[in-house]
Structure formats: C-alpha cells, structure tokens
Amino acid sequence: MTILRDKNTSVKDFREIVSEIGMLITYEATRDLPLTTKEVETPICQNRGPPQLRAKIRCGSHSPGRLGTWWTACCVSVPGARVGHIGMYRDEETLEPHVYFCKMPKDIEERDIMIVDPMLATGGSADAAISEMKKRGCVNIKLMVLLAAPEGIELIQKNHPDVDIFCGAVDDHLNEHGYIVPGLGDAGDRIFGTK
C-alpha cells in the first residue's frame, strides 16, 4: 500500500501492485464460499480432493474500462467468474453517483456477488451499486476495495449491514473534495497515467 500511495511510483508498478493486492483481497473474500471435492487417481493411489469452488460467482465492476486491472486481478483468483458492469459517474458538485450503464448476466440472482471498486470514499457509488444488485434479486453480496475511508464504511454498514467489506487498508478521513486522506490520489488516473 505504501508503494501505491507514493506519488512517484510508476504506472507500471502501480498496475502490478493493484493486481497483487486484488488477488490477495479476492483470496480473503472467497475463503468462506462452499467447496466440493473431486475423486482423482494419483500415480500412487485414489485420492479425494483438492476442493473445488461450488459457488457461482459474479464480479461487478463499477467502471468497465478505467478500472480494468482491478477486476481482472479478481478474475485471476476466480477464473470462471462471470463479470457484469455497472457504469457510474460522480457528480463533481454533489458527489452523488449516477448509473449510466448496467449489463449483467441472466442468472445473476443465483450467484455470489462480489462488487469490485478500487476506492470506498463517500460510499455513495458502492451503496448505489449494492442497491442495484439487490433490486435484481441478489442476496449474497460482498464488497472488495483497495482502500476505504471510515465515512464510506459507515454508510455501507448502515445501509447494507448484510454486506461484508474486504479492503487493503482503512485510511483516516475524506477531504473536502471527497478524496481519501492520506489515500493514493485518483485511482483511475494512477492506473492509466492520465495525470
């Protein structure tokens, strides 16, 4: 996390570390999912195992293009996951999220949902994304973020006490522009080198 926070970290290193942390967080977030075993024959004897994931998983990323390295890291840990997208933008003045795009597979309500977003700041867009999934009948929902602010965690825990949050670190507070402090700046800009 310290390397991600450093403003002098290169785009290449930033992307790689986002991917590494994404895999670690996914590992934690999937550890309680139901497993099944498989009978195999080793060169020595019959053996039951290793366990296989039984759950059907779907990752929902907020922004399809800009945050690609974050959700693709999750797919490395769960290769068969179906991925849907909720596109949102944040009104610069009100900081309120607006959904402009939503594409989900048909059997979504049968799946374990892992919502993936790099930053949990005010919590507004994660709150809206979770509500959007619940509207579609989803019940097993988890939220995975790189970095969280206490304000965002509080909002999600108040509005969605059933949703567990997995994050790389919890920071101190949000500043008047809605940025996490100390934070790492704008996650999209850091991933794509746009600033």
Q: How far apart are CA 157 and CA 37, in angstroms?
A: 34
Q: Which is nearer to ligand URA, 60 or 183 (CB)?
A: 183
Is residue 144 close enough to count as binding ligand URA by CB under 6 A?
Answer: no
Select from 88, 121, 129, 191 the one that contacts ligand URA (CB under 6 A): 121
Clarify whether 122 is annotated catalytic: no
The residue range among 48-56, 69-77, 107-115, 182-190 that interacts with ligand URA, by the rule CB under 6 A, is 182-190
Binding range to ligand URA, per CB under 6 A, among 28-36, 99-107, 157-165, 185-193: 185-193
156 near ligand URA, rule: CB under 6 A: no
Single out the catalytic residue among 2, 13, 189, 194: 189
Phi-psi region of 77 (alpha: psi -120 to 50; beta: other; left: phi over 0): alpha
Q: How far is the CB of 117 from ligand URA (least distance, A)?
A: 9
Q: Rounded to the nearest whole angstrom, what is the least distance from the CB of residue 4 to ligand URA in the complex?
A: 11
Q: Which of residues 23-62 bind ligand URA (CB under 6 A)?
A: none
Active site residue 171: no
Does position 146 bind ligand URA by CB under 6 A? no
Smallest distance, Å, CB 94 to ligand URA?
A: 15
Mark the segment that binds ligand URA (CB under 6 A) among 28-36, 47-55, 138-146, 180-188.
180-188
To the nearest whole angstrom, how small is the minimum distance from the Cβ of residue 169 to ligand URA? Answer: 12
* Geometric angle at alpha carbon 93, from 164 and 85, rounded to 5°: 40
Q: Is 13 a catalytic residue?
A: no
- 2: which residues sit within 8 A by CB, 6+ positions away? none
- 117 in catalytic set: no
The catalytic residue positions are 90, 94, 186, 189
